[in-house]
A and B are shown apart, each in its own frame.
Chain A
Amino acid sequence: MKKLLTHLDWLESEAIHIMREVAGQCSNPVLLFSGGKDSLCLLRIAEKAFRPGRFPFPLMHIDTGHNYPEVINFRDEKVNELGERLIVASLEESMKKGSVVLKTDDEPRNKYQSITLLEAISENKFDCCIGGARRDEEKARAKERIMSFRDEFGQWDPKNQRPELWDIYNAKVHNEENIRAFPISNWTEMDVWQYIERENLSLPNIYFAHKREIVRRNNTIVPITNVTPAKSNEIIENITVRFRTVGDITCTAPVESNADTVEKIILETASTSISERGETRLDDQVSEASMEQRKKEGYF
């Protein structure tokens, strides 16, 4: 008999343990579900943690209004299949209420998600949000706790984080404060794809190679959609691409790729020379500290 767990079994087991700690310690948690690959891993982990029971938390999507329809359809199918409850918190609702004010109509909405998220936390009185963030994504994330404390304004203070030792997680909060729990903190992009392969998880089809109209702008491939139209001087090309991350349309760029299966994506991930966020997240290229700044403002 094998005495040590394989790396995927170990990561899965750690994530299940973290999710059960949330369920055991928090009175009103929620799981943030975007339809993206990381949150799909979270759902499989939740199944392994709580079945045959129901999940002890609802799912919540922060909808910027700028999503690929394939992802939204996939999200709804998945929720249906699981028989769990989905809350959709809409950024456009926040705009109507006046809490989100864009500088210009076409300004990327990603950073404003924090406002909608904080509103939803406060309305629903959530004391913990489970998210799919990973420490390998970005350097501010490398110092993030597995259970990360946020004050009553939802702020992350890197100088005032609770020390986290062994596998003991302190999720205690006062009213209005909350915890962000990250069960797959210790996973890398490769681990995620290997887990997807092993568990045979289905994904929105835009993760796989497909034909798409794009333009090339500042070394990035920009997909042509109604919210990201081509500029008059740009040449529209129809090429084969896939998305490495899936989020708000205006800040997620695809990569050129012919990988149309999970297996091929794993091979490509192993040989890529550019990081997930560097290549495809337009919002992280702005400055060296942009993720750190967003997290301080309540971003997950």
Chain B
Amino acid sequence: MKKNINDTVLRFMTCGSVDDGKSTVIGRLLFDTKTILTDTLAQIENTSKKKGMTEIDLSLITDGLQAEREQGITIDVAYRYFSTGNRKYIIADAPGHEQYTRNMVTGASTAQLAIILIDSRKGILTQTKRHTYIAKLLGIKHIIVAINKMDLINFDELKYNSICENYKKFEKNIFPKNTKTDIKFLPISALKGDMIVDRGNSMGWYKGLTLLELLDNLDTTNDFKESSFRFPIQYVCRPRESANQKLHDFRAFMGRIESGFLKVNDKVKVLPSGNESLIKEIKIGEKNINEAISEQSITVLLKDEIDISRGDMLVHHDDPINAIKNFTATVCWLSENPLSINRTYLLMHTTRTSKAKITNINYKINIETLEHEEVQNELKTNDIASISFKLAQPLIVDNYFENRGTGSFIVIDETSFHTVGAGMIELLDKKEK
């Protein structure tokens, strides 16, 4: 294992349906890394017997809620964990059926990698295109295409190669805006356990890494290396009432670095005000550090006393970014209640929330054909569309493909307060800035 990824976290999602053996793949990963413990296994054995099965059904490991068991389907994203000693993994296990596009979008939003499963007998299907589209739309930089059920095609190398070639051909045309996706292929048999954790004896012709080795060796260090420093302020610490006199003038700004680096003495500016200052101290808890990196939750002290509150953002002083009030975004509609163009919604973006009106629904994406379609003034659950917004408060945004943290937002219904949509910002031209 490379030193810079040792002991890190990798979040991935699995795309596929029960028919592709998705649950069996996850079950196999958990089982073969010894994450499944005896009592859970006993429970699964019990259920397998009740269902009249003679062997343990590994897919039951990922079985969920009572409501789902009754219907025999997964309706929600489940999160699962395993560790190889080298790395901690968080799996977003999302149902793959088209009715659950919103759950796939949810699972993909936090994933760094997607495993796309293909049934070797069926090859590339419409759903393979849909899964690839969603993974790329959500800015996932790494895809592993796992051709499953190799046992059912006699572990045929030629058939495997032809599926890989077909995938490469169509993948290029899917979401060409996101061109930097790293794609890897491997043949597996989740049922037999071949090429998941162990290599098995049936595919000597495959010289590449197993699924677990691919995961353990994936280097994500450079995924967002070009992103600029973004530090949305979550909370301002002013311990005035403290018994400690020294703290009476203490003012610190707390948050998590969405992207980039920060060092002590860096010159920064506050947005939207534009006021500038220098970084005096960076702390984690009460411990001082000299520099901080993306995803770190820190506390920052500035040289000058300037007005900063929750919702503001610190960036480097020479950064050209500005707060804006109009932008276009790709939105996935998550709610059972349709989007109405006449309503006002709340957009929650980093630590700032603004009222927003929809100025136009530009087009809708047909998730099967991936073609643009005209829309009337409404969007339904699972619809993905390009929408132009006009905001009451300015937001400090980036292009989603350059910065996931500052390029994403959720849409909240003003009345119910439910989360009804998820958006990825696309800055089309300078005019919008």
Q: Is the CB of B40 within 8 A of A13?
A: no
A97: interface (CB < 8 Å): no
Q: Which chain B positions have C-beta within 8 A of A3?
A: 4, 221, 225, 293
The verdict on A143 contacting B77 (CB below 8 Å), with A186-B90, A275-B39 known, is yes
Q: Is the CB of B237 within 8 A of A7?
A: no
Measured CB to CB, the closest approach of chain B to A248, in angstroms, equals: 21
Q: Is the CB of A159 within 8 A of B75?
A: yes
Q: Which chain B positions have C-beta within 8 A of A10?
A: 8-9, 295
- Chain B count of residues within 8 A CB distance of the other chain: 73
Q: How far is the CA of A51 from the CA of B90 in the complex (A)?
A: 30
Q: Is the CB of B410 within 8 A of A5?
A: no
> Which residues of A from 11 to 63 have beta carbons under 8 Å from B?
11-14, 16-17, 20-21, 23-24, 47-54, 56
Q: Is the CB of B408 within 8 A of A4?
A: no
> Which residues of B from 19 to 39 have beta carbons under 8 Å from A?
37-39
The A-B contact count (CB < 8 A) is: 188
Q: How far is the CA of A166 from the CA of B103 in the complex (A)?
A: 13
Q: Is the CB of A49 within 8 A of B297?
A: yes
Measured CB to CB, the closest approach of chain B to A1, in angstroms, equals: 7
Q: Is the CB of A20 within 8 A of B297?
A: yes
Q: Is the CB of B65 within 8 A of A140?
A: yes
Q: Which chain B positions have C-beta within 8 A of A283?
A: none
- Give which listed residue, B81, B255, B334, contacts A188 with CB less than 8 A: B81
B362: interface (CB < 8 Å): no
Looking at chain B's contact residues, the main secondary structure is mixed
> Which residues of B from 285 to 341 have beta carbons under 8 Å from A?
285-286, 291, 293, 295-297, 310, 334
- Give which listed residue, A56, A167, A278, A289, contacts B37 with CB less than 8 A: A278
| Nearest A residue to B247, CB-CB | A52
Q: Is the CB of A274 within 8 A of B296?
A: no
Q: Is the CB of A53 within 8 A of B37?
A: no
Q: Is the CB of A170 within 8 A of B417?
A: yes
A165: interface (CB < 8 Å): yes
| Nearest B residue to A271, CB-CB | B34
- Chain A count of residues within 8 A CB distance of the other chain: 63
Measured CB to CB, the closest approach of chain A to B3, in angstroms, equals: 9
Q: Is the CB of B76 within 8 A of A165?
A: no
Q: How far is the CA of A39 from the CA of B285 in the complex (A)?
A: 18
Measured CB to CB, the closest approach of chain B to A246, in angstroms, equals: 20
Q: Is the CB of A166 within 8 A of B296?
A: no
Q: Which chain A positions have C-beta within 8 A of B78?
A: 139, 142-143
Q: Is the CB of A165 within 8 A of B237?
A: no
Q: How far is the CA of A170 from the CA of B421 in the complex (A)?
A: 12
Q: How far is the CA of A134 from the CA of B37 in the complex (A)?
A: 17
B356: interface (CB < 8 Å): no
Q: Is the CB of A165 within 8 A of B37?
A: no
A216: interface (CB < 8 Å): no
> Which residues of B from 229 to 247 have beta carbons under 8 Å from A?
234-235, 237-239, 241-242, 244, 247
Measured CB to CB, the closest approach of chain B to A6, in angstroms, equals: 5
Q: Is the CB of B410 within 8 A of A168?
A: yes
Q: Is the CB of B348 within 8 A of A51?
A: no
A163: interface (CB < 8 Å): yes
Q: How far is the CA of A11 from the CA of B63 in the complex (A)?
A: 26
Q: Is the CB of B79 within 8 A of A166?
A: no
| Nearest B residue to A10, CB-CB | B9
| Nearest A residue to B418, CB-CB | A162
| Partner-binding segment picked from B104-112, B119-127, B193-201, B386-394 | B104-112
The verdict on A292 contacting B65 (CB below 8 Å), with A143-B78, A174-B417, A188-B81 known, is yes
Q: Is the CB of B293 within 8 A of A5?
A: yes
Q: Is the CB of B242 within 8 A of A52?
A: yes
Q: Which chain A positions have C-beta within 8 A of B8?
A: 4-7, 10
Q: Is the CB of B237 within 8 A of A52?
A: yes
B404: interface (CB < 8 Å): yes
Measured CB to CB, the closest approach of chain B to A249, in angstroms, equals: 22
- Give which listed residue, B65, B88, B419, contacts A139 with CB less than 8 A: B65
Contacts A5-B293, A7-B9, A13-B295 known; 8 new A-B pairs at CB < 8 A: A4-B221, A11-B9, A52-B244, A135-B81, A143-B65, A168-B408, A170-B348, A173-B417
Give the top 8 A-B pairs by smallest Cβ distance, nearest first.
Answer: A278-B39, A48-B285, A16-B297, A172-B417, A165-B109, A53-B239, A7-B88, A20-B234
Could you name 25 residue pairs across A and B whose Cβ atoms are closer than 8 Å? A1-B291, A4-B4, A4-B5, A5-B295, A6-B7, A10-B8, A11-B9, A13-B295, A14-B295, A20-B297, A24-B351, A52-B247, A53-B237, A54-B239, A140-B65, A142-B64, A142-B79, A162-B419, A163-B334, A164-B419, A166-B109, A167-B256, A274-B37, A289-B66, A292-B66
Which positions in B face A, CB cutoff 8 Å? 4-5, 7-9, 37-40, 43, 47, 63-67, 75-81, 83, 87-88, 90, 102-103, 105-106, 109-110, 220-221, 225, 234-235, 237-239, 241-242, 244, 247, 250, 254-256, 284-286, 291, 293, 295-297, 310, 334, 348-351, 404-405, 408-410, 412, 417-419, 422
Which positions in A face B, CB cutoff 8 Å? 1-7, 9-14, 16-17, 20-21, 23-24, 47-54, 56, 135-136, 139-140, 142-143, 158-159, 161-168, 170, 172-174, 185-186, 188, 190-191, 272-275, 278-279, 288-289, 292-293
